[in-house]
Amino acid sequence: MQPILSGVDVTPSTESSSTAVRWGPIIAGASAACTLTFILMLLGSGLGLTMISPWSGSGASITTFAVSTAVWLIVVQWLSSGVGGYLAGRLRTKWVGVHTDEVYFRDTAHGFLAWAFATLLVVGVLGSTLSAIVGSGVQAISTVASGAATGASAGASANAGGAADNATSYFVDALFRPTAPAKVAAANPQSDAAATAQASHILIASAATGEVSADDKTYLTQLVAARTGLSEADAKARVDAILARVQDAKVKAKQAADTARKASATFALLGALSLIIGAFIASAAAALGGRQRDDEEAVFVTSR
């Protein structure tokens, strides 16, 4: 006995052979986003360089400069994402026979893909250029802000062989500065070089450990007294003053490094948040552009 199948619909389902992704609008939107990003970054770099100055008290503070840079990067991300997403939605061809919800999803996906493609282009192709643009302003303000601290940190990390050429040479010269300038010409070059090397070793070790042992301090005092003609008490006072200046420079270097660390962490967090919001803006703008495109075409067809 054969089963009765007359009431069952056995028509095979059909699926469109064309893909739902329109790469043309996606590439166009991503290209527009990259171009707008580059233009806005040039504008932001110019505005940022007008905020800073090598003269003390003439430019904006480090905090103001950092906050302004972070805000501008967020604005750049949002504007470029919005324009790129809108173009990706507005330029795609109309999907026929597709449910409204599916059209909305596809438009949103096109905006997200345009944002992702633009982000990859900016990071991969324009990354070095944008880094140079932003870095020029950042380097200028950081150089002005931490010039003295940079010298101190460089001296602490230098090796003993190049001590005469590193930042500690200034402190060594201050230690062995004669009371009478005429003694400079009469000094023995060999003994001077040996004393300078030994003092540099002690200063570098003290910068690394954070303190000078009593034996090292006594030896430095004797070296200074022998080189400069100072009394033992005056030589000890000079050694204490120089060590205090070295410690102060070390503290300033640590403060500058900690400030840079905090600024980098804040910049990274704001950058990640900006990218996430930029992806949302691109998706929403693409949905808006696609809906306007369909509405305009529907009005055009009706008017005909």
Residue 279 has a pLDDT of: 92
First to last CA, the chain: 60
Report d(CA 45, CA 80) in Å as an integer. Answer: 17
Q: CB neighbours (10 Å) of residue 29?
A: 33
Query: What's the rounded mean pLDDT across residues 146-154?
Result: 43
Q: Is the pTM higher than 0.85? A: no
pLDDT digits (tens, 9 = 90+) for 226-269: 877 788 888 889 888 888 888 888 888 888 888 878 877 877 78
Q: Work out the pLDDT band at 131, boundaries 50, 70, 90.
A: low
Pick from 252, 249, 224, 222: nearest CA to 238: 224
pLDDT at 60 over 50: yes
Give just the sign of the alpha carbon dihedral 161, 165, 168, 173: positive
CA 6, CA 28: separation in Å to the nearest integer? 52
Q: Residue 117 — pLDDT band, cuts 50, 70, 90?
A: very high
